[in-house]
Amino acid sequence: MVTVVYSLLVALHVVSLVFCAGPILALALVPGGLTPSAAQRLTRVAGFGLLGILLTGGAAVAMTGPAFIHTWWLRLSVLLFLVIGALTGRLRRLTRDPGSASGVRPLAWAITFALALVVYLMEGKPF
């Protein structure tokens, strides 16, 4: 039963990643073609995705106990998660300011790169 719950938790973790990464990637690919209100909605959805990642990731770590908490790939992933959260907050502020549209695309690409790095760390567990 515990493995079923853990598997469901990991699936929800991945769905949360999609809810975060999808809108961010959309902002990276089509920044000029989106209205400011659409960009704001996308950053809001990405924020909910980040919240889902936080809740499901924390629950997964709690379920595994000390098995992964001392691994460097998890520590680096948590650090990157904090950076992604800060960058997403900055992106959300940029989408509210009409004069800063030029900064949206590079920031969205940076967040996308950081998310891809976390996915590599989670799947590859290199150290």
How do residues 89-111 score in pLDDT, each as one tens digit? Answer: 999 999 998 778 789 999 999 99
Query: What is the structure's pLDDT at 34?
Result: 83
Exposure class string for 105-114: b at 16+ Cβ within 10 A, else e: bebbbbbbeb
* DSSP structure class, residue 31: S
Against a cut of 0.85, is the pTM above it? Answer: yes
Record the tokens describing residue 48, joined without a space.
């909910």
How do residues 42-76 score in pLDDT, each as one tens digit? Answer: 999 999 999 999 999 999 999 998 888 899 999 99
Q: Does residue 119 surpass a pLDDT of 90? A: yes
